[in-house]
């Protein structure tokens, strides 16, 4: 049984959506600094993320969508070479930069390589420190800082390529993972458990979700102890009944009380508790197999501390 993998790639730093954008390369800097300074990095098996292939992306995305996004990226590069702008807007929050396509391929590639290694038993579990994030990306739509849905692609990859029968997704980002739901709703080989602030961006997840979507909308200012109660009451029995063979985590840290992207009241210790819950479920049902992928988290100090706490739990350091 291997250790804890840490997947990232310098290409993930090159993606940027303009000065002052909260989904910024510094997010990865503070995570790396914290893991190095704390000594946690010494316990991790650090690996470069490969590029996801088109065939991999097609597990969760529409071919026309991929072509159109690739075309947009190619045109941006050509226009930029001719003196044009360095960004192409997709929505008011989301834009393609010169390196975004490549970074997104690395981010999905990280999730897939981690899935390969964890299923092979080469790694016990893994964390992917990647950007852009993925859980808002729908089958045929970029939105909310996301282009490819890394966790949804990895779920289908584990099922279709590795022959797993049941994969769980745990999404603790403050925002609803509308993209993951859009892609995987009704696929009963997947159970997606998430809580999210509601009503709040992207204003989804509450209208009669499919049976495999375990959605817990919570109001602004909900605190961690209430979340823990909800998890034990609603998630634990469903997860036990489902018995996943692999758990993927959409690891967003923007539900932290210091993160003003959202208004939930979680603390560092709540994220440790959630990480331990995931590991308990994985040990009980999935031979400990967990692949966790960074989603949101924009208060840089809190993000760095919470990722350290999360990775410590994965690595068995706390």
Binding positions for Zn ion, rule: CB under 5 A: 173, 175, 252, 254, 296
Which of residues 296 and 309 has its CB atom nearest to Zn ion in the complex? 296
Q: Which residue is nearest to Zn ion (CB)?
A: 296
CA angle (256 as vertex; 140, 292 as ends), nearest 5:
50
Let me know if 136 is a catalytic residue. yes
What is the C-alpha to C-alpha distance for residues 9 and 303, in angstroms, rounded to an integer? Answer: 19
Q: Is 255 within 8 Å of 262 (Cβ atoms)?
A: yes
- Give the nearest distance from C-beta 250 to Zn ion in angstroms: 9
Neighbours of 101 (CB within 10 A): 21
Residue 110 tokens read as: 């990280």
Instruction: End-to-end CA distance of the chain: give it in Å, rounded.
Output: 19
Residues 6+ apart with CB under 8 A from 184: 152, 155, 156, 169, 190, 192, 212
Which of residues 34 and 175 has its CB atom nearest to Zn ion in the complex? 175
CA 261 to mean position of chain CA atoms: 17
Contacts of 24-28 with CB under 8 Å at 24 or more apart are 25/131, 26/300, 27/131, 27/294, 27/297, 27/298, 27/300, 27/303, 28/129, 28/131
Which of residues 175 and 289 has its CB atom nearest to Zn ion in the complex? 175
Which of residues 116 and 173 has its CB atom nearest to Zn ion in the complex? 173
Which of residues 224 and 296 has its CB atom nearest to Zn ion in the complex? 296
Among residues 136, 175, 176, 256, which one is catalytic? 136
DSSP state of 148: S
- Give the nearest distance from C-beta 60 to Zn ion in angstroms: 19
- Give the nearest distance from C-beta 172 to Zn ion in angstroms: 10
Residue 128 tokens read as: 């992917």
Positions marked catalytic = 136
């Amino acid at each position: 049984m291997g250790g804890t993998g840490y997947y990232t790639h310098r290409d993930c730093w090159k993606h940027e959506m303009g000065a002052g954008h909260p989904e910024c390369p510094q997010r990865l800097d503070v995570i790396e600094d914290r893991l190095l300074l704390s000594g946690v990095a010494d316990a991790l098996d650090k690996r470069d993320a490969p590029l996801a292939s088109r065939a991999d992306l097609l597990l969760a995305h529409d071919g026309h969508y991929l072509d159109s996004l690739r075309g947009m990226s190619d045109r941006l590069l050509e226009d930029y070479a001719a003196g044009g702008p360095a960004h192409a807007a997709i929505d008011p929050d989301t834009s393609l930069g010169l390196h975004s396509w490549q970074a997104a391929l690395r981010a999905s590639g990280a999730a897939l390589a981690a899935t390969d290694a964890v299923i092979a038993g080469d790694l016990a579990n893994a964390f992917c420190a990647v950007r852009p994030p993925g859980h808002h990306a729908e089958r045929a739509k970029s939105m909310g800082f996301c282009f490819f849905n890394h966790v949804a692609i990895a779920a289908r990859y584990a099922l279709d390529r590795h022959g797993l029968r049941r994969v769980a997704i745990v999404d603790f980002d403050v925002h609803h993972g509308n993209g993951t739901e859009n892609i995987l709703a009704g696929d009963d080989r997947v159970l997606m458990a998430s809580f999210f602030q509601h009503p709040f961006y992207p204003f989804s997840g509450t209208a009669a979700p499919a049976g495999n979507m375990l959605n817990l909308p919570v109001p602004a200012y909900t605190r961690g102890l209430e979340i823990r109660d909800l998890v034990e009451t609603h998630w634990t029995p469903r997860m036990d009944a489902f018995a996943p063979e692999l758990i993927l985590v959409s690891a967003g840290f923007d539900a932290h009380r210091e993160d003003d992207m959202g208004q939930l009241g979680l603390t560092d210790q709540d994220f440790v508790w959630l990480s331990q819950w995931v590991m308990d479920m994985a040990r009980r049902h999935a031979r400990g197999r967990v692949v966790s992928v960074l989603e949101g988290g924009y208060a840089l100090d809190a993000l760095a501390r919470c990722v350290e706490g999360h990775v410590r739990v994965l690595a068995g350091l706390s």
